[in-house]
Structure formats: C-alpha cells, structure tokens
Amino acid sequence: MKPIFARQSGATLLVSLIMLILLSLMTLTTFKLSKTSLQIAGNQQQRSQALAAAQSAIEEVISSTRFATAPDKAILAPCNKEANTTCVDLNADGTTDVKVVVTPTCVSSQVIPVAALDFTSPSDAGCIIGTGQSFGVEGGASNNSLCANMLWDIQAVAADAVTNAQYVVNQGTAVRVSSTTLCP
C-alpha cells in the first residue's frame, strides 16, 4: 500500500500549474489595462496641444482688424506661404508638429442704433450723427448711427502632423466698422 503523500504529489503539481496560469492571465490583463491608460493620456495630451495651437492662431487673427478687410490674409506671416496657416513646433525640434488653418467668415453687419451709443465715450463719438427731423420724407432721419458691428465666425482647424488628429475651434467676434461697409 502506498502512503497518502505519494498519491497527492500529482495534485500539488496540477494546482501549482493552474495558479501559474491564473497569475499569467492577471499579469497580461494588467499590462493591457495600463497600455490603454497610457494611450488615453497621450491622446488627451495631443488634444490639449491642438486646442492650444488653435486658440493661439485665433488670438493672432483677432488681435488685429486685418481679417475684416482682407479675410484671405488674416495671418501676417503664414506657414509655408499658405494663406491663413500657422505652424506650431511643440517640442522645439525644428519640425512642424501642428498645422493650424484659420478661416474667418463674415456672418452679418448690423447697424448700431444711436440709442445704444455712449455719448461720453470717445470711440462712440464718431458714430453719432445729427440729422434734422423730416417727418413723412423717405430717407429722412432714422435711429441708425454711422457705425455698424460686423460679426465674424473665426474657425481654426488644428491638425497633428504625426497622428493626423484634428481639432476644430470656432470663436465669434465683432468689429466696429462704418455703416456702409458690407461683408467681404
């Protein structure tokens, strides 16, 4: 008759093999989860960098009123001589990482009513007109001033050169112009 220990030696080997397989599966799952987390963090970083590049390009356009008169030349020094583009080097290696294309679009031009002007403000003084009353005469006095607000939608599309990921930012702005100025 064999001792009890001799019959159990194969069971110990089988249990340790199962435990080894379970540990290997747990290690593999942990590795895949950490890899996915790193990819998510990397994507979020690229998204933030593209957003910052797009916002910077929009601020460059809005910082002057050049876009109101020449929307196709809104950026003074375009990237690669392409109209309304900026190139951003994020890691200072001399190559373009994010290319931003800016498109200013005139939405409307609205004449400012005289009642909406501040008579004490120097910027509104040039908009105030004094016209006589002409009751019943076509083209007579109206409540309109000499100025208008030209409303613009400025869109920036930032594209990552490596991943081709795109981020689109829209921002609205208004520019005070003469009431006779039409959208280009």
pLDDT single digits (tens) 67-112: 888 888 888 888 888 888 999 888 888 888 899 999 999 999 888 8
Query: Which pLDDT value is given to residue 140?
Result: 53
Is 145 in contact with 128 (CB distance < 8 Å)?
yes
Taking the whole predicted model, whether its pTM rises above 0.75 is answered as no
Please report which residue ranges of 81-174 form alpha helices under DSSP H. Answer: 122-125
Residue 104 or residue 144, greater confidence: 104
pLDDT single digits (tens) 29-50: 998 888 888 888 888 888 888 9
Going along the chain, which residue ranges are E strands?
85-88, 98-113, 144-160, 166-178
Report how far residue 133's alpha carbon sits from residue 42's, in angstroms, rounded to the nearest whole number: 67
The percentage of residues in the chain with a pLDDT greater than 70, rounded to a whole number, is: 88
Report how far residue 120's alpha carbon sits from residue 22's, in angstroms, rounded to the nearest whole number: 80
Average pLDDT, the chain: 84
The percentage of residues in the chain with a pLDDT greater than 90, rounded to a whole number, is: 29
